[in-house]
Amino acid sequence: MSAKILVLNCGSSSIKYQLFAMPEGTVLARGLVERIGEERGCHKHWDSGGDTSAQLQVRDHRAGLEMIVKRLTTSQAGTAALKDLSDIAAVGHRVVHGGETFTGSVLITPEVVRTLEVHADLAPLHNPPNLAGIAAAKEFIPHAPQVGCFDTAFHMTLPEVAYQYALPRELYEKYHVRRYGFHGTSHRYVARRAAELLGKHKYAVNVITCHLGNGCSMAAVKEGKSVDTSMGLTPLEGLVMGTRCGDIDPAIIFYLAEKPEYKALKTLNSLLNKQSGLLGISGLSNDVRTLLQAAAKGHLRAALALDIFAYRIRKYIGAYAAVLPKLHAVVFTGGIGENAALLRAKAVAGLEHNLGIKLDAALNNVVSGAGRPEADIATADSSARILVIPTNEEKAIAADAYEIAVAQGHTD
């Protein structure tokens, strides 16, 4: 049974969306509403009639979704992705934080909404707009069941030794302080694709997945299940990222808090989340493309930022190889992982000596996200494959929404 599934990703000031025909996985329309709440917003849309872009004020997420549903049923070229909103069989939502409650995607009910509201303090920048998107979808597409897909759900299989911090137990019991991990939908998608490419059952594969974009995280996947991941209570922990610091000595925060310019907690929070990472090290940019160009021209801090970025990935590969049985593959995904050949090479440099993981330089140099969407860039005698797999979180969400809301008979 074919059905149209709308996938929504509501960020703090944006809404990304795609309309799929499922289970085929065909994209019928996609777009982005950005700068929500600012004086001048933007709505970009693509469907079979082509690309359009409009500059306009978008008051809030409700107004943004209202624009989206209107655009899906109209077209300047005389065609539209939808004849009527009643054609939407279900709505799938990316939800950042499900706490420990949700171990997989679920049909959104009033009880689920109440639970997400409870977890809002764990993701104050993300869960509120996710909830706003759910409320708006219920208003404008009331007939369609909604499905929540959680960034944290894939990592709910972490054992206690991996998710517990060495803090007083009551902080976990009272305030739910633990490692949650994020990018779970992406890690799950590429781990499943890796299993398919390797000819293995999804629960018979051991891989290390590297989601590298402006936000970066890694996961150790044992027999198809996440058993460790680099992000923690929040997305700040772990790898060096575009503007996030990743792993640091926590005492640095207390040291800086005694300095006049960093006494305010908001200032420290901004420092660690928005002014650090590649941007902070390079003093130039958080964009890897800019840093690669600058490093090639002799910009020393840009080169150092890229080296630190790759070094941290290599350390995590070593750590995760130590907690997995026979490693089948290291998987690179995300904008950087799919396109930055030099950083892939730097990230696995030297692993041939101790782990037997060997990169084929020639294959690596010709692979890009657009040119060869999926590729094995390891040498024939490598102990584990090195895979480049473009992530598709939206398709994974659409598949979950189709399965839960349509295949299981929850549509009206």
25 vs 410: CA distance, rounded Å: 20
55 vs 36: CA distance, rounded Å: 11
| Alpha-carbon separation of residue 130 from 46, 91, 244, 400 (angstroms) | 23, 13, 22, 17
Contact 219, 206 (CB under 8 A): no
Angle ∠(97,195,407) on CA atoms, nearest 5: 60
Written as one letter, the residue type at 240 is V
Contact 330, 352 (CB under 8 A): no
Contact 238, 230 (CB under 8 A): yes
Query: Of 60, 84, 87, 151, which is the active-site residue?
Result: 151
Whether residue 87 lies in the annotated active site: no
242 vs 338: CA distance, rounded Å: 16
Question: Token digits for 43?
Answer: 């709505």
Location of structure tokens 């934080």 = 97
Question: Token digits for 207?
Answer: 């891989």
DSSP count for the chain of H helices, then E strands: 16, 14
The catalytic residue positions are 151
